Amino acid sequence: MKEEEILLRFEAKLQYIFRDISLLKMALTHKSVAYDGVSKAKSKYNERIEFLGDAILEHIISDLLYHHEPELSEGDMTKMRASIVCEKSLSNAMKRIEGHQYVYLGKCEIQNNGRFKDAIIADAFESVIGAIYIDAGFDVTNEIVLRLLDVEIAMALSKKEFNIDYKTRLQEILQKHGTVKIEYILIEESGPEHDKTFKVELLFNDTKIGEGIGKNKKQAEQQAAKYAYERHK
């Protein structure tokens, strides 16, 4: 299938037509493509536009929660927003429109089933949102985000638990004992640049109470907190 046809098909899934189709190509291009050879070294990848998309997503969801849930505290809105824009939520939203099938990956990442990794899919979702924002502005982006994340937003607003923040839950339990010292220490980082694995150790008052592994430090910290939480609750 030709590249132009691939992008047109994704636009149909997205229900948005880009004025500058190169923005969409960049948003769907993972950095692992760079490892396929010198000929592709000058390709544009989605890391920078992902950064923008992440900020736009948080703004849109924050605005929605502020106006839709006037009685929620800052802390509750923060937790609810986190459940909507977390890695798993964004990955699920991208999969619903089969967006993971259109991400450009390097051969190594394809062999490692990168097309089905939540981290890569969620990053691509954020990148696409960033691309739409550049291409069409805030109002259009806002409308598309609310449509694509309708399931996650509905679950959050109905107070259904979608994504558990184990770090916060564990901290609430441990702080019942008074002032405590909680540290997440990165003890190992392995794998190629485009597919790293992180290992984190969790210390409570200088005593190890958990350990976690993830594809990024945040994920590893959550795994360590989950381990400890399930033994302290």
First to last CA, the chain: 53
Q: Is the dihedral of CA 184, 189, 192, 193 positive or negative?
A: positive
Integer Cα distance of 111 and 157 in angstroms: 38
Please give the average per-residue pLDDT across 212-228, as a whole number.
Answer: 89
Of 4, 24, 12, which is closest to residue 128 (Cα–Cα)? 24
Q: Does 95 have pLDDT greater than 70?
A: yes
The pLDDT mean for the chain works out to 88
> What residue spans in the chain does CATH classification 3.30.160.20 cover?
166-232
**Residues known to be catalytic:** 54, 126
- Split at pLDDT 50, 70, 90, the class of 38 is very low
**3.90.1150.10, 3.30.160.20, 3.40.50.300, 3.40.50.850: which CATH number matches 166-232?**
3.30.160.20
Integer Cα distance of 22 and 50 in angstroms: 15
Q: Does 129 have pLDDT greater than 90?
A: yes
**1.10.1520.10, 3.40.50.300, 1.20.1260.10, 1.10.1200.10: which CATH number matches 3-157?**
1.10.1520.10
Say what angle helices 74-84 and 150-157 make with each other, to 10 degrees: 150
- Split at pLDDT 50, 70, 90, the class of 214 is confident
> What residue spans in the chain does CATH classification 1.10.1520.10 cover?
3-157
Query: Which pLDDT score is estimated for 191?
Result: 82
Query: Which pLDDT score is estimated for 55?
Result: 97
Of 169, 166, 208, which is closest to residue 185 (Cα–Cα)? 208
H-assigned helices in the chain: 3-14, 21-27, 47-68, 74-84, 87-96, 107-111, 118-136, 138-148, 150-157, 166-174, 217-232
Integer Cα distance of 85 and 58 in angstroms: 7
